[in-house]
Amino acid sequence: MTATTREFTRVADLRRRWQVYQSENRRAFRHDAAHAFGVSEAELLAVECGDSVTRLDGDWQELLKQFKNLGRVMTITRNEHIVHERKGNYRPVSFHDQTGLVLDEGIDLRLFMKNWSMAFAAHNPESKGYKHSIQFFDAAGHHIHKVFVGDEAADAFDDVVGAFRSVNQNPHQPVSAAIAAVSTEPDEAIDASGLRDTWANLQDTHDFYPMLKKFKVGRTQAFRLVGEPYAVPMPKDIHRSVFTRAAETELPIMVFVGNHGCIQIHTGPIARLFDVPGWFNIMDPDFNLHLREEGVAEAWLTRKPTKDGVVTGIELFDAGGRDLAIIFGKRKPGIPELEQWTNLCNELEREHRL
């Protein structure tokens, strides 16, 4: 498939603008450049097809299963305001219909494959440590998930790319409109009493989303309607207190960050916290988190009953009510949450509740 004259002109213009952007920004990230140009990240990446980028095609589930051959990798999953980076092995990978799991101690993922539309392999010779990557996007060209591979697995990476290389290497990437937000009912139309009763009788955290769907209620809308003690509004910078105290006490936590195609989870203690203007960062050897603080519009402390006891979380949202991150104490099904985490959240509620 060849590019039309109009497409060729647009691709050439994007490549030129990207080159200028890189020269003017010491740390030039394609995601930020795409936003500045008014295009999707996939469109900006695709302009290098035939050069440093290869468009992939095929069954994404089968592609992901090949990542077991890539050794130790770094994965990045992000939404508009938080970037979650984790190092480990991409195995084992399993699927049930359009839902997938990766359950390595380092790489822990929940995959929602119906939203995975396109993939590219990229090579960046200027990168330190991870020069090769495979990057996934939705139909609108927005980020879903990226996997970065070191030079020690370059041959295995080339084998994977060769097996899934698309015949179409056109540098123009068509995209569709972004996925519309799920509509909810107005407050007065919600059975708030039934919602609260259902919440109070939850048996598993996995029952929470079906409950929201049943009552046609948004997540923060449910928090408002149900109220204390199950949902308590907190200052939008509460993450600072959570991460600082967890680091000081070496408390193992779980940090969930994701989008409509992938949720990535860190489990364990954290240590190195850094401030960069506008960003709060965790910079540990195997786990990095970059949180754009102006993007956090709401924060809630939540308590969800389960058969193993109450599960307490700190949840962050953007101005549109989209979830950005959820923080829990380290736990597994069948085991109550850590008392140290429960006590920390209770302290935060006493000190910071709005």
| Domains identified in the chain and CATH numbers | 5-91+117-164 (3.40.1570.10), 187-352 (3.40.1570.10)
Count of CB atoms situated within 10 Å of the CB of 315: 22
Cα(39)–Cα(338) distance, integer angstroms: 44
Mean pLDDT for 35-48 is 97
- Helix orientation angle between 192-200 and 219-226, rounded to the nearest 10 degrees: 90
Each residue of 95-137: pLDDT tens digit? 999 999 999 999 999 999 999 999 999 998 878 789 999 999 9
Beta strands 132-137 and 118-123, pairing class: antiparallel
E-assigned strand segments in 3-131: 53-56, 72-78, 82-89, 93-96, 99-103, 108-112, 118-123
Alpha-carbon gap, residue 143 to 136, rounded angstroms: 6
Does the pLDDT value for residue 184 go beyond 60? yes
Name the burial class of residue 183, with classes exposed (0-12), middle (13-18) and buried (19+) by CB atoms within 10 angstroms of its CB. Answer: exposed
Which residue in 166, 170, 57, 65 sits closest to 116, CA to CA?
A: 57
Q: What pLDDT sits at residue 3?
A: 60
Judged by DSSP in three states, 210 sits in helix
Q: What is the C-alpha separation between 93 and 275, in angstroms, rounded?
A: 35
Mean pLDDT of the region 205-216? 96
In the chain, how many H helices and how many E strands?
10, 18
Q: What is the pTM of this model?
A: 0.95
Q: What is the tens place of the pLDDT at every residue in 140-180?
A: 999 999 999 999 999 999 999 999 999 999 999 999 988 77
CA distance 296 to 300: 11
Residue 176 CB burial class (10 angstroms; 0-12, 13-18, ≥19): exposed
In angstroms, rounded to a whole number, what is the distance separating the alpha carbons of residues 320 and 191? 23
Element of type H or E holding 303: strand 298-304
Lowest mean pLDDT among 43-52, 58-67, 95-104, 126-135: 126-135
Section 182-199 average pLDDT: 93
